[in-house]
Amino acid sequence: MQIGRMQRLNRAAGAKTAAPPAVPLLRTPLQRPAQQQHSSSQACRAVHMDFNTKVWEKELVKFASSEEYIVRGGRDKFAKLKDAFAGFKQIGVIGWGSQGPAQAQNMRESLAEAGSDIKVTIGLRPDSPSWKDAEAVGFTPSNGTLGEVFDVVSSSDMVVLLISDAAQAKLYPRLLAALKPGATLGLSHGFLLGVMKSDGVDFRKDINVVLMAPKGMGPSVRRLYEQGKSVNGAGINASFAIHQDYTGNAADIAIGWSIAVGSPFAFPTTLESEYRSDIYGERAILLGAVHGMVEALFRRYTRQGMSSEDAYKNSVECITGPVSRVISTKGMLAVYEQLDDKGKKIFDQVGHKVRAERVESEIPLNPFTAGVYVATMMATVEVLREKGHPYSEICNESIIEAVDSLNPYMHARGVSFMVDNCSYTARLGSRKWAPRFDYILDQQAFTAVDNNVPIQEDVVNKFKSDPVHAALAKCSEMRPPVDVSVGGEGSNEGIGAGGARIEYRSTAAKA
């Protein structure tokens, strides 16, 4: 029953936001068929969202042709956390999956640095295999920071719900009932709203309902927070939403939450906009598309006579190395401009060998690989823009999350390491859509190139002048000067309890 409901909601999300674009219809890298083209001067239809905050300073920023409000983060803002969370004695973090360890540890340390006595407490099932992991990083029953889920929910002033989407769909009636009147329910994914709409119910009216969604997997949220301690903060940007403001200060709470977990800047959205763009992105450029893409490219290059090692370098390493690095700091257009005029088992085994012998400066910027990747990213951008998402959400959800959070983990230990450190929903989406991208790239895009279908120069020119480049440049201006650092095989950097996982498990939620 739960699976059926989740499938219906996924289909609904796809119908409204559109399924991942038929990227492999690209005739060559950086090219789409005429019927799929859209004016690069088309401005995002979304109007910036305003919000009321008494604690934080909002800033009006121009992203390409639109203006949007944001709030900048940084460790120098921690002193205001006590004002944002005024009256709070306990923040309960429910779940220990991808986001739970990162957000709980970051908030605990930020609040301590702010001189706050607010307690961050983890809520888990007593038989949860994650119980020992939480204890390993200092959350224990003896100090009152680790307890049973519903005990933590009922005693917390703010409940950060970070269990899987499927578990939320199953448990939300009990969870909502357990909240204290006037408490704040915090979500990092808006999918619960879709579930409740499908069930014909609404949130209790005597609570706040807010969202704070980091644009990156949990381990990167934690790792960049740790690295940012010496540079006034480095982390993952986040969106936030005020769905229900019962106490009148829900915006202060949501923004404070984003600053406490280390977001360099946060931008407003809605629960619905967030979950639609997030699920779409996970199926497309963030996980599903790049997973299928590297498999298709690897296979293509070996067919053309490359050794397995060289094929891996020219597919996976090219994307996670020079392509991601250039997009992160200079934008997609810079990848294009750097090209010259000419421009599962065996896969993983080869990757291990290549990563072990890697010399970063020798990773090639393969023009074909770069073209396929950037074209897929641009197709993702175009669909989100057509559906009215603001540039702050487009850039963070489909570009920055890919190159600053996800791809570095694939660079460190391969595709599976990246995918398996994401949420359960993201993992499912990736593995469902990767074969589809793989197949269509191989059967349509690559064959079009091999058949010498002419390049449409107007499409390339539209790519060069697309407004998203200006929006991404603005995001880059606000980017902290720190790249996420995670250890490869043989290194424990960013790995282990409270960090990235190398062993995986999943247990069903119990109603």
**Which residues form the catalytic set?**
189
H-only helix segments in 388-423: 391-395, 407-413, 415-420
Copy the structure tokens of residue 138: 């200092």
Give the strand order in the sheet containing 158-161: 58-63, 66-72, 265-268, 238-244, 208-214, 184-187, 158-161, 90-94, 119-124, 146-148
Backbone torsions φ then ψ of 212, nearest 5 degrees: -140, 110
Q: Is 357 annotated as a binding residue?
A: no
* Side-chain-side CA neighbours of residue 14 (13 Å): 14
Distant-in-sequence, close-in-space partners of 172: CB < 8 Å, separation ≥ 6: 192, 195, 196
Q: Is 157 annotated as a binding residue?
A: no
Distant-in-sequence, close-in-space partners of 415: CB < 8 Å, separation ≥ 6: 290, 291, 294, 316, 351
Cα–Cα distances in angstroms (integers) from residue 284 to residues 18, 22, 225, 380, 398, in the given order: 11, 10, 27, 7, 9
Copy the structure tokens of residue 386: 């057509």
Q: Are 227 and 205 in contact (CB under 8 A)?
A: no
> Cα Rg for the chain, rounded, in angstroms?
22
Q: Indicate the residue type of 371.
A: G
Buried b (16+ CB within 10 A) or exposed e, 408-441: bbbbbbbbbbbbbbbbebbbbbbeebbebbbebb
Q: ∠ at Cα 24 (337, 391), nearest 5°?
A: 60
Positive or negative torsion for Cα 135, 141, 145, 148: positive
CA distance 15 to 11: 6
CA distance 103 to 120: 10
Q: Indicate the residue type of 302.
A: T
Q: Are 128 and 96 in contact (CB under 8 A)?
A: yes
Q: Which of 472, 383, 297 is nearest to 23 (CA)?
A: 383
317 DSSP assignment? I
Buried b (16+ CB within 10 A) or exposed e, 93-114: bbbbbbbbbbbbbbbbbbbeeb
Annotated binding site for Mg(2+): 278, 282
